[in-house]
Amino acid sequence: MTDVKKIATRESYGNALKELGDEHEDLVVLDADLAGATKTGIFKAAHPDRFVDCGIAEANMIVAAAGMSTMGLVPFASTFAMFAAGRAFEQVRNSIGYPHLNVKIGATHGGISVGEDGASHQCCEDFGLMRTIPGMTVMCPADDVEARAMVKAAYEMEGPVYMRFGRAATPVFHEEGFNFQIGKGEVLRDGTDVAIIATGIMVPEALDAAEELAAKGINARVINMATIKPLDEEIVLAAARDCGRVVTVEEHNIIGGLGEAVAGVLSEKLPTPVKRIGVNDEFGHSGPAAELLEQFGLCAANIAKVTAEFCA
Amino acid sequence: MTPEEKKELQLAAIEVREGILTSTHGAKSGHPGGSLSAAEMFTYLYLKEMNVDPANPRDEHRDRFVLSKGHTAPGLYSALALRGFFPKEDLATLRHVGSYLQGHPNMNTVPGVDMSTGSLGQGISAAAGMAKGAKLTNNDVRVYTLLGDGEIAEGQVWEATMFAAHYKLDNLCLIVDVNGLQIDGRTADVMNSEPLDSKFEAFGCDVVKIAGDDFGQIESAFARFHENKGTGRPTVIIMATTKGKGVSYMEDQAGWHGKAPNDDEYKQGMAELAEARAQLEA
């Protein structure tokens, strides 16, 4: 995919906020001294009066956003995934989740692909943390087009949303204007030998893996699961029925994330062999994003290898 | 404040205290100590200070109150019932299965509750967010939040105070109930939070110190809060109180932080409050 356009979904997040902010006076953005990195600075430049920097105080930011939402505003609270879902977990749980307030959490720098900063900043636990909060919508876009559509959809829905965006520039493969729906998976490639269900920046890797598998005579269905909760159970069950084997791929600990969500549905409703590809319950370390992804097996080559073994 | 007005408020505070005893007795659990210490404050906020309407509890132009020390829900509920947000008889269902009166304030079930709280240190942030939100939307309302002196140990309290001063939230009033006790004992021994006045002053707030059971002083403190409009300074009312105030065996006893009166204790407490009412009316 060398000639494909690449954009980091955090960039998409900032651009979408700015555009939405142009249209909607009630949209406010909070950040915790990371506007340059989370790209909320794009919004800030256009709408400085509706940008609230909270300083390096994520716990206060999350609950202040909750308070703002009760005043008729639609706050987007932004920081790195590690601090939004991790540090401020209990604030999200008690002050946004429990009262079911209309706060959107835009968490950037999710996963191993944070790269050089190392394990302290590579959040591979956020899907698990956020998924266990009742009523929380949890999403992770696969590319720039989807990310921008997701931010718009999050603004339009009522209730708490957690969105994870990436630091690294990744391929754009959706057509502009495609119909994004919260809670709906997307079949990107049909196949009946095995279904690969991926989320976030693992989706283009899964598509490339499917090409490699096709060369070996394995016909893989590839599903983009941008919404991790509520999970599109229908598309998961159909994949299991049609393919008989399901592989999940996520830039997240194999504990608590998309893999367990899919396995949970299948084990109860249609027991099917599942292979989870993700970070294998270990911490990351420093290095360039692409090298790390390869090292941790979060790349097309490994997805193809594991899937082929799984199908053997 | 005329002597008649003061007497009326004092009688209302006795009613709030009765509601605290009745609800925690009915629940066989709950937090009477810190509810009783703030009974005058709850009474004054809901009968005099705040612009609220029980007939329209979600009015966007109402003043907001966030009970940051959420465990003292019996005090808040009792004042809300007295103000007419829901029937006083319901107080006895506190913490019961199926009751809307949850152990800690729930904004989605209890009419008049503006924010769900209970996890200490968070209510103040919600209140600061509301005050900032009010400024962003040009909504000329006031926001109040009540904290405990034990709660002050939560680092988030200071994140929120810094935020309030930075954004010049002169529409925000922080009230600290300094009853000097927390679960494990005297606040001075568990984790000393003093000096509170100079801490809040250093953060950029205007600090008023009062006796928390004196309605005249409460009235003056809120007058100063109103005068602070336009100054850009958040107001902090530090009120000295007695935990368990009004019920002799609970007064200044850390053990009554989170324990309900049994039948005999309830009877005695209600008798003491009835006696206090009789003395006032005499």
pLDDT per position as a tens digit, B149-160: 999 999 999 999
The DSSP code sequence of A106-167 is EEESBSGGG-TT-GGG-B--HHHHHHTSTT-EEE--SSHHHHHHHHHHHHHS-S-EEEE--S
C-beta atoms of A60 and B125 within 8 A: yes
Cα angle A135-B72-B115, degrees, rounded to a multiple of 5:
35
B-chain residues within 8 Å CB-CB of A95? 115-116, 119, 122, 125-126
Q: What is the mean pLDDT of residues A84-97?
A: 98
H-run or E-run covering B60: none
pLDDT at A1: 47
Mention every residue, 6+ apart, whose C-beta is less than 8 A from residue A225: A185, A197, A198, A199, A231, A232, A235, A258, A262
Residues recorded for chain A? 312
Kindly determine whether residue A57 and residue B163, on different chains, have CB atoms separated by under 8 Å. Answer: yes
Identify the closest residue of chain B to A100 by CA–CA distance: B108
- Residue B138 at interface with chain A, using a CB cutoff of 8 Å: no
Mean pLDDT estimate for chain B: 97
Nearest CA-CA distance, residue A158 and chain B, Å = 15
Where does residue A19 rank: exposed (0-12), middle (13-18), buried (19+ CB within 10 A)?
A: middle
pLDDT in tens, A120-136: 999 999 999 999 999 99
Residues in chain A within 8 Å Cβ distance of B172: none
ipTM above 0.95, yes or no: yes
**Is B137 near chain A, with CB under 8 Å?**
yes
What is the per-residue pLDDT across A213-253, written as a single tens digit (0 to 9) for each?
999 999 999 999 999 999 999 999 999 999 999 999 999 99
Q: Does residue B185 surpass a pLDDT of 60?
A: yes
The residue type at A168: A
Does the bond joining B105 to the residue before it have cis omega, within 30 degrees of 0?
no
| CB–CB contact B159 A60 (8 Å) | yes
Residue B82 CA from chain centroid, whole number: 14
DSSP H helical segments within chain B, as ranges?
A: 3-27, 32-37, 39-44, 73-83, 123-136, 155-166, 187-190, 196-202, 215-227, 263-281
pTM: 0.97
Which residue has tokens 């010049």? B168
Are residues B162 and A67, on separate chains, in Cβ contact within 8 Å? no
Which two tokens mark B17? 């205290």
Distance CA B231, CA B204 (A): 11
Given a cut of 50, whether residue B116 has pLDDT beyond it is yes
- Write phi, then psi, for B174 (nearest 5 degrees): -95, 130
Query: Catalytic: A211?
Result: no
The alpha-carbon gap from B255 to the nearest alpha carbon of chain A, in Å, equals 27
Residue in A55, A67, A72 nearest the CB of B125: A67
pLDDT band with cut points at 50, 70 and 90 for residue A116: very high
CA distance B265 to B158: 38
Q: Confidence band (pLDDT; 50, 70, 90) for B37?
A: very high
Selection from A152, A164, A72 nearest residue A123 by Cα: A164
Q: Active-site residue among A11, A25, A58, A309?
A: A58
Q: What is the pLDDT of residues B59-79, one digit of tens each?
A: 999 999 999 999 999 999 999
Query: What's the whole-number mean pLDDT along residues B193-204?
Result: 97
Contacts 24+ apart (CB under 8 A), A206-209: A206/A249, A206/A300, A206/A303, A207/A173, A207/A300, A208/A1, A208/A300, A208/A304, A209/A300, A209/A301, A209/A303, A209/A304, A209/A307
Chain B residues within an 8 Å CB radius of A100: 108
CA geometry: angle at A94 spanning A89 and A99, to 5°? 135
Q: CA of B118: which chain A residue's CA is closest?
A: A94
Q: Given an 8 Å threshold on Cβ–Cβ distance, is A67 in contact with B115?
A: yes
Residue B40 reports pLDDT greater than 90? yes
H or E element: which one contains A75?
A: strand A74-80
Q: Which residues of B touch A63 (CB under 8 A)?
A: 122, 125-126, 129, 156, 160
Nearest CA in chain B to A57: B159
pLDDT band at A4; cut points 50, 70, 90 = confident
* CA–CA dist A122, A201 (Å, integer): 15
Q: Residue B65: closest CA among chain A residues belongs to which residue?
A: A67
| pLDDT band of B247, cuts 50, 70, 90 | very high
For B104, the closest chain A residue by CA position comes to: A94
Mention every residue, 6+ apart, whose C-beta is less than 8 A from residue B279: none
**Tokens linked to A117:** 């900063």
* CB contact set of B7 (below 8 Å; sequence gap of 6+): B280
Question: Binning pLDDT at 50, 70 and 90, where does residue B237 land?
Answer: very high
Instruction: Collect all residues of chain B within an 8 Å Cβ-Cβ radius of residue A73.
Output: 133, 136-137
By Cβ distance, the residue of A57, A67, A90 closest to B126 is A67
Residue whose entry in the numeric block shows the structure tokens 């005043």: A71
Angstroms from B274 CA to nearest CA on chain A = 38
Summarize the confidence of residues A12-26 as an average pLDDT: 98
Amino acid letter, residue A93: R
Q: Say yes or no to pLDDT of A2 above 70.
A: no
Interface test with B, best of A70, A76, A90, A103 (most B CBs within 10 A): A70
Q: Which of A142, A155, A229 minimizes the C-alpha distance to A187?
A: A142
Cβ burial, residue A120 (10 Å; 0-12/13-18/19+): exposed
* Residue pointed to by tokens 């319950």: A281
Q: For residue A33, what are the CA distances in angstroms to A83, A121, A237, B58, B88?
A: 12, 15, 43, 33, 47
Per the prediction, chain A carries an average pLDDT of 97
- Chain A nearest-CA distance from B278, in A, is 42
Sheet holding A104-108, edge to edge: A51-53, A27-31, A74-80, A104-108, A161-164, A137-139, A227-229
* Adjacent-strand bridge partners of B148: B177
Q: What is the mean pLDDT of residues B162-172?
A: 98
Contacts of B39 (CB under 8 A, 6+ apart): B13, B16, B17, B20, B75, B78, B245, B246
- Spell out which residues of chain A touch residue B114, defining contact as CB-CB under 8 Å: 70
